[in-house]
Structures are given as structure tokens and as C-alpha cells.
Amino acid sequence: MLFLQISRHSPESCPMHNEAVKKATVDLMAKFDQLLKKHGIKVIGGWNAGDDHSIVVVYDVPSLEAIMNFSMEPEVMVWSSYHTTETKMVMTLEDSMKMLP
């Protein structure tokens, strides 16, 4: 199952200018691959829209429980405290078309 995650931070909490957020981001990125593997999650793609202070990531996850448990990892929780995140279950356009009668 695919999940689209859009995270936004304020200009004041931008990791480019805020040392606490920069540390949280570096700490998360240092363990990111390990945490993904632990929960069986794969990143399909990730994008940073710097002018909008937003990050978009598409995950392929084995279950809803996996994405929930990943979100509760300490490094993710600290990083999340500086971001507003929207997470949506999504499907490919091809899969959507298969559902049409």
C-alpha cells in the first residue's frame, strides 16, 4: 500500500536557519534507512520544495501498522515536533483506472 506524506515547517523552524531542527533532521537522516528497513517500508520518492518549506515523500508500506510504528520512532517524533504532517493512503492512477466499471 502506498502513502503520500506532506510535511511542512515554518520559516522560523527551517533546518537551514534553526539549529534545533537541523539537529533533529540530521539525527533522523542518520537512522532513516535503518528505521525504514525495521518496519519494512520503502521510499518510492521524496522531494523538497524549499520555497514552500515542505517535504513530500511517497512510501510503499506493508501495513497501516508499519507506518504508524515508524511514525512513533523517537527520531521521527522529534523531527515531527517541528512539522505539520499530512499522511494519505494513495494508489497509482493505473490502479484507480482498474476500479472503474
Is the overall model pTM greater than 0.75, yes or no? yes
Confidence class of residue 101 from pLDDT cuts 50, 70 and 90? confident
The answer to whether residues 69 and 17 touch, using CB atoms and an 8 Å cutoff, is no
Average pLDDT, the chain: 95
Q: Domains (ranges, CATH) in the chain?
A: 2-98 (3.30.70.1060)
Helices (H), the chain: 19-38, 64-71, 74-80, 93-98
Q: How many angstroms separate the CA atoms of 96 and 101, rounded?
A: 11
Strands 42-49 and 54-60: antiparallel
pLDDT, tens digit (0-9, with 9 covering 90-100), for 46-88:
999 988 999 999 999 999 999 999 999 999 999 999 999 999 9
